[in-house]
Structure 1
Amino acid sequence: MLVYEYLPREFIRLGVVSKAAGLDHREMAAQVRLAQERAGSARLAPREPHTLSELLIAELRRHQWERIAHLMKKEGMAEYVPALDVRGARYERQRLQRLVTDVTEAKRSGACVVEIARHRVYRIDARPAASSAAHVPVLTLHLMKASPDGAAEKAWAVHGRDGGLYQRGGYRITSVEQALLEPGELF
């Protein structure tokens, strides 16, 4: 049985905390503005077919940046120090508890083998084939898989079948990029 070491929300928290470490108030304010702008842009983009979406990612990042900026102001921190972030430490304890609970539940359900997966979140873009109408929009979705190839295969398996999103508009997958965590972080 498959258990995820990190869920998308946990990736986002970890990514923001690692980027925020050592930032001063001016740098933090710039990151907050950037996160707010990205969330605003994501609200205007076409809606994705899955819950895990660019909008969800942008909103969760915005929330974390705003939370850390508020903490710095409240605690009078000259720069952000993750070790002084009580809520950040609590989030990590909750992640570890969720992981233990998921493994215990998997074993209790009779799973012979419990695999703790280090999946990442990939952004998959699909565009209409050249012969399709120009007015057909680009389809974007976000999926958790261990590799870019796995993400593309899953996207095609779910949406490439007869009547699926890709088939109706003559789409083909054009790019698969790691969205969470950023390349090189943590793994």
Structure 2
Amino acid sequence: MLIYEYLPHELVRLGVVSRAAGLDGRRVAAQVRLAQGRVGSARVLPAEPHHLSELFIAELRRLQWERIACLIEKERMTVYTPSHDRRAVRYEQQRLQRLVVDVAAAERSGGAAPEISRHRVYRIDARPAAGSRQDMPAPTVHLMAASPGEAAERAWAVHGRDGGLYRRGGGYRIASVEQALPEPGELF
């Protein structure tokens, strides 16, 4: 049984906390403004077919940056220190508890041995295939997978069938697969 070491919202939280470490209030405020701008940009993008989307990720990041900015102001921190952030510590404890519960449930089920996997979130962009209609926006999807190749395979398996997202309007082909979470240099 596959168990995710990190879920998408956990990747966002941990990524923001790790990037905020050592930043002062002014730099955190700048990150808040950037995160708010990303949310605005994500809102004008075409809607994605899954809950996990560019907008979802941008909103989660914005909320974490705003939370950290409020904490710095409230606690009058000179710089943000994750070990002094009770909520960040609690988030990590909750993640570890989730892992323990998931592993115990998998072991009780009697199926395959539990496998803890470090999946990432990938952004899969498509573009119209040659000779197809160009009037529809090219679809973007976000999926959790262990590798870029697996992400592309899963996107095609879900959306490449007849009537699927990639088959509408004459067809699309996968143009790029990029790691969205964690961002390069974050966590692992």
TM-score (structure 2 length as normaliser): 0.97
- Are the equivalent residues in 1 in contact too, given 2:159–2:166 (CA < 8 A)? yes
Which deviates more, 132-141 or 23-32?
Answer: 132-141
Matched, 1:128 2:124: no
Q: How far 1:127 sits from its partner (Å)?
A: 0.8
Match of 2:182 in 1: 181
Query: Hey, what does 2:173 align to over in structure 1?
Result: 172
Amino acid at match of 2:73: K
Q: Report the more deviating stretch, 130-139 or 169-178.
A: 130-139
Q: Are residue 22 (structure 1) and residue 60 (structure 2) matched?
A: no
Q: Which runs of 5+ in 1 are unaligned?
A: none
Which segments of 5 or more consecutive residues in structure 2 lack a partner in the other structure? none
Cα deviation 1:50-71 (Å, max 9, x = unaligned):
1111111000000000000000
Distance, in Å, in 1 between the alignment partners of 2:111 and 2:30 is 47
Distance 2:84 2:70 in 1: 13
With 55-64 and 108-117 compared, the bigger mean Cα shift is at: 108-117
Deviation at 1:186, TM superposition (A): 2.1
**What SS class does the counterpart of residue 166 from structure 2 fall into?**
helix
Distance 1:16 1:103 in 2: 27
Please give the alpha-carbon distance, in whole angstroms, between the structure 2 residues aligned to 1:42 and 1:88: 26
CA displacement at 1:132 relative to structure 2: 1.7
Deviation at 1:134? 2.4
Q: CA RMSD in A?
A: 0.9
When structure 1 is superposed on structure 2, of 172-181 and 161-170 the one drifting more is 161-170
**1:108 alignment counterpart:** 108
1:99 aligns to what?
99
1:139 corresponds in structure 2 to 139
Counterparts of 1:111 and 1:17 in 2: how far apart (Å)? Answer: 36
For 1:151, the equivalent position in structure 2 comes to 151
Whether contact under 8 Å (2:35, 2:58) holds in the other structure is: yes
The reply on whether 1:44 has 2:41 as its aligned counterpart is no
Secondary structure at 2:111's aligned position in 1?
coil
Task: Tell me, in whole angstroms, the C-alpha distance in 1 between the residues paired with 2:157 and 2:80.
Answer: 43
Verify: 1:163 aligned to 2:166, yes or no: no
